[in-house]
Structure 1
Amino acid sequence: MALLLAPHTVTVVRAPEGFDAEGNSSTDWSSAERMTVQGQVEPAASSENRDNRDQVATNYLVRLPPRTDVAARDRLEWNGITLEVTGDPLPWSGLALLDHIQLTAVCIKG
């Protein structure tokens, strides 16, 4: 991806999968691996849930360099916030300078 289109520093966070004492699947975010890349993050939508508590979900559209190792279960750190990747990251290609991985991510507060 051309540097002009990748002004943001984004950290991909991947936690190992394991099992707790009862044998249930668990994710250990305290021992997660981190990989930093240049990308583009832009807000896409925000919504508020006030049924049982005040909760705001902000969705982001994220573009990362081609072949970035990022998966649906990963998190991203950007601009001091943690984002949960939602769905599969998808490769986009066409013009070599614009090739990238595109994904959506959400930050939920409250």
Structure 2
Amino acid sequence: MALLMAPHTVTVVTAPNGFDAEGNANTDWSSAGRTTVQGQVEPAASSENRDNRDQVVTTYLVRLPPGTAVALRDRLEWLGVTLEVTGDPLPWLGLTALDHIQLTATRIRG
């Protein structure tokens, strides 16, 4: 079943774990896989940190179709913006047309 109100094209970016030249574990974003789905993205909160630099943190509430493969360490691309998944993707089930996966994602600038 498709997400009822899904006006946004969202790309889920999943990167495999790799290792750097010193053998330390890292995430290899250069060989990331991409899956595009229709979802819903809405701003939830924004804050500014001006202690040592100008930094803006914006949090988004994201709803994706049920069964979308998305994990806590993934990224999302939406309207040319890259977001970090920062909340556990949780299924909302039982209402058929309203079933979805809900998560939070963050963009940090500065």
- Name the TM-score, length of structure 1 as normaliser: 0.95
Question: Which deviates more, 21-30 or 96-105?
Answer: 21-30
User: What SS does the corresponding residue of 1:72 show, helix, strand or coil?
Assistant: coil
Question: Which deviates more, 61-70 or 13-22?
Answer: 13-22
Deviation at 1:4, TM superposition (A): 4.7
Distance, in Å, in 2 between the alignment partners of 1:95 and 1:4 is 11
Give 1:66's aligned residue.
66
Identity %: 82
Distance, in Å, in 1 between the alignment partners of 2:95 and 2:3 is 15
* Structure 2 stretches lacking a partner, 5+ long: none
Distance, in Å, in 2 between the alignment partners of 1:52 and 1:86 is 23
Distance, in Å, in 2 between the alignment partners of 1:14 and 1:64 is 15
Give 2:46's aligned residue.
46
Residues matched between the structures, number: 110
Deviation at 1:3, TM superposition (A): 5.6
Deviations 1:15-72 (A, max 9, x none): 1101112121111111110000000000000000111110000000000000100000
Which consecutive segments of 4 or more residues in structure 1 shift more than 3 A? Answer: 1-4
Q: How does 1:16-31 map to 2 (within 5 A)?
A: 16-31=16-31
Give 1:11's aligned residue.
11
2:12–2:35 Cα contact (<8 Å) kept: yes
- Name the TM-score, length of structure 2 as normaliser: 0.95
Alignment RMSD: 1.1
* Structure 1 stretches lacking a partner, 5+ long: none
Give 1:97's aligned residue.
97
Q: Which letter does structure 1 place at the counterpart of 2:96?
A: A
Q: Which letter does structure 2 place at the counterpart of 1:108?
A: I
Give 2:88's aligned residue.
88
